[in-house]
Amino acid sequence: MSVSNTDWIKPTALPPIAPRRPHTIVQHGETRVDDYYWLRQREDPTVIAYLKAENAYTEQMMAHTLALQEQLYAEMKGRIQEIDLSVPEKIDDYFYYTRMEQGQQYPIHCRKRASLDAPEQVLLDENRLAKDQAYFRVGAIKVSPDHCWLAYSTDTTGGEAYTLFILNLDSGELLAEQIPNTSYSVEWANDNRTLYYNVLDAAKRPYRLYRHTLGTDPAQDTLVYHETDEAFFVWVGKTSSKAYLLLLLSAGVTSEVRFAPADQPEAEFKILQPRQHEVEYAVAHHGNRFLVLTNEGAPNFKLMEAPIAEPHKTNWRELIPHHQDILIEGIHVFRDFLVRFEREAGLKCIRISTLNSDTTVDAVRDVTFPEPTYTFNPGMNADYNARTLRFTYSSPVTPNSVIDHDMATGNWDVKKQDEIPSGYNPSQYRSERLMVTAPDGKQVPISLVYNQNLFKRDGSNPMLLTAYGSYGYSYDPSFDAKRMSLLDRGVSFAVAHIRGGSEMGRAWFEEARLLHKKNSFSDFIACAEHLIAQGYTSRDRLAILGGSAGGLLMGAVTNMRPDLFHTVIADVPFVDVISTMSDPTIPLTVIEYDQWGNPADKASYDYMKSYSPYDNVTAQAYPHMLITGGLDDPRVQYWEPAKWAARLRAVKTDDHLLLLKINMDAGHAGPSGRYSTLREWAFKYAFVLDRLGLGDPSPSAAPATPPSSSSG
């Protein structure tokens, strides 16, 4: 039914008020009334008009911060290399790299043959493709094994449904075949003529794998695999040896892998080990065996080997046993080396072993990192025969550094460290690692960084505290040049490594999912209380931020302890937990039953209802709040933040500022393009600084007293 009433329209000094239109939902014999269910009707112009009214109100209420936003944007822009070049990666006879040009939003993908002194060949200029597009993002980008073809995909809405293109790199010709509705996964067979890709179903789940032959009609492509279980996603990849194609089937905490020789494009994918609920495994290839990383009977994972001829697990042999205190997060196999990416005592580790034969793993050596708090991210490492491991290293005070680590000698070679053109003195900043006792006695880490020239541990220091706490994702302490705009205004920055991630091992994740999810919230609250009690900040100086599942965290803790936080930013927040998880037509719902539970189960329904942010809004005073969403977001539908903001407006008892900003041209990741992204962060930081009383555009060494309230 169309919603034609426009009774939210008010004088511009007042916020839009969404009309209540009760919608009755009955589950387990219990009736819930959703007054804002009508906001799901995206096709109704009235809904769009309401979202635009909210955006107009947000723009008006932030108008006094425009000078601050411009200053923040200028600072952030001044810290990036506008003309920049990535460290080239040698693959066969080519050096591949990306470069950025001044004033351009997107990277240009290039290569040189044989030598870095050779002429440059531009493979793909994203700026040209993005011309006249409000949103643009490249999904897959994959060069064929013979380096003659480029498969790439693009999204121009933010909805994460990509169109796949194929480019002849010798002639520059774009083939006529274009394949819509694909996901991120693309892989070449070794014949250089066959391309595998996955497509999306109505719920935007990658559910089918197709095989395409260059120069043929995509309508005639061969369906290789169709996943009928709505909880599983379909991906395709290739082993680092390039010998095998891998069909990867994943469902949260369950996985299955199938394999086929990469030089036999029409070969059948064989199951390595049938799926088993809550058993995950990943596969690499070395010699005449597969290396299988599995958590079966090993919560922190163990490494097994399986003979390729008979890979069933009855033939597996243990190579690296399970360790109660060390989580193996992944492996990378080279011809002569095995690299394990691990996590111990909350910190990421790299352990390197030699692979001298098909039966041994010898000479384990740890990579030594120069700082006590840090993180790293592995590079592509596409050369199977390489003797160096490439990764990107950073810490809260050390900019991103591309490292080539000699796996034989241990030599650490810094190929590039990000420069801060406007200037940066790391000695001005200090990072700390704290441990906080949760209500059940668990020790929760906090990573903290601040400008030590402005920091006082007397409760007067403003702080931005963030966390995620879901899906086993670990929020590691890394460098962020944008953050300097906060630190140089006296705002310290902290990450609470709460349960739900994997910082302290797999149990850290298990202890905050399904019927244990509330541990994430109590951990976060304990971290905030500790920071206040120890004088790092105070209640009227503390802002918090989280996005997506971290936005759920923001909503839950704000309902539970609104007195503890002064300002809240909830980005694309997953807040309407019961209604979303009860609707399998929404993307990601079914696959996330293993994370949140299935509301069809009464116990899961009751537990979700007890913390779902939207369902637990109550008549109380809330902090200043900025809530964001994306109209084309397939992960958290725009109506979740919109409904939550509407209910908060109707129920809360305070006059603190509540803003809703819906990006009408983007999805879950927000605006595309590096400059647009900086402007978005300038807006968010301006909200935080303004609410904390630090609205002077210039960095100040004297934190002001925050305002106690504002209309809205």
Is residue 233 within 8 A of residue 205, CB to CB? The reply is yes
Closest to 380 in 3D by CA, of 94, 677, 670, 79: 94
Q: How many C-beta atoms surround the C-beta of residue 16 within 10 A?
A: 22
Is residue 17 within 8 A of residue 649, CB to CB? The reply is yes
Catalytic residue flag (residue 668):
yes
Is residue 491 within 8 A of residue 688, CB to CB? The reply is yes
Interatomic CA distance for residues 534 and 479, integer angstroms? 25
Strand pairing report for 244-250 and 233-238: antiparallel
Catalytic residue among 286, 633, 656, 690: 633
Interatomic CA distance for residues 426 and 419, integer angstroms? 12
Residue type, 30: E
Residue carrying structure tokens 């790092």: 536
3-state secondary structure of 292: strand
Closest to 392 in 3D by CA, of 403, 383, 381: 403
Catalytic residue flag (residue 460):
no
DSSP state, residue 600: T
Q: What's the token pair of residue 426?
A: 């790391």
Catalytic residue among 530, 668, 672, 690: 668
DSSP state, residue 478: -
Q: What is the DSSP string of 323-347?
A: BTTEEEEEEEE-SSEEEEEEEETTE
Q: How many C-beta atoms surround the C-beta of residue 600 within 10 A?
A: 13
Interatomic CA distance for residues 529 and 535, integer angstroms? 10
CA angle 378, 156, 168 (to 5 degrees): 70
Is residue 403 within 8 A of residue 414, CB to CB? The reply is yes
Catalytic residue flag (residue 563):
no
Closest to 369 in 3D by CA, of 351, 388, 387: 351
Q: What is the DSSP string of 395-460?
A: -SSS--EEEEEETTT--EEEEEE---TT---GGGEEEEEEEEE-TTS-EEEEEEEEETTT--TTTT
Interatomic CA distance for residues 99 and 560, integer angstroms? 47
Q: Computed over its alpha carbons, how large is the radius of gyration of the chain?
A: 26
Catalytic residue among 478, 485, 520, 548: 548
Strand pairing report for 542-547 and 492-496: unpaired
Interatomic CA distance for residues 616 and 414, integer angstroms? 50
Residue 697 φ then ψ, to 5°: -55, -30
Residue 471 φ then ψ, to 5°: 60, 10
Catalytic residues: 548, 633, 668
